[in-house]
Amino acid sequence: MEIKVLGSGCPSCMKLEKNVKEALKSLGKEAIVEKVTEYDDIASYGVMSTPALVVDGKVLFSGKVPNSKKLIEMLK
């Protein structure tokens, strides 16, 4: 599983990264969580608001920070 957190490094982006890692741990899954901070790279996904989450090349959401429970449902 390839996971990317798109964002500038703001507090919301850091919170999303933390929540993703907690969700993965709860699921017993291992994945590399990559941070993407360059504007051109973020824009290449068609994302206009951050933070955003990309799993295996697909944008799951942008502009919000779901809690760990919601992320567990998305990452199952």
Catalytic residue numbers? 10, 13
Q: Give the distance from CA 17 to its chain's centroid.
A: 6
What the block records as the tokens of 60 is: 């799951």
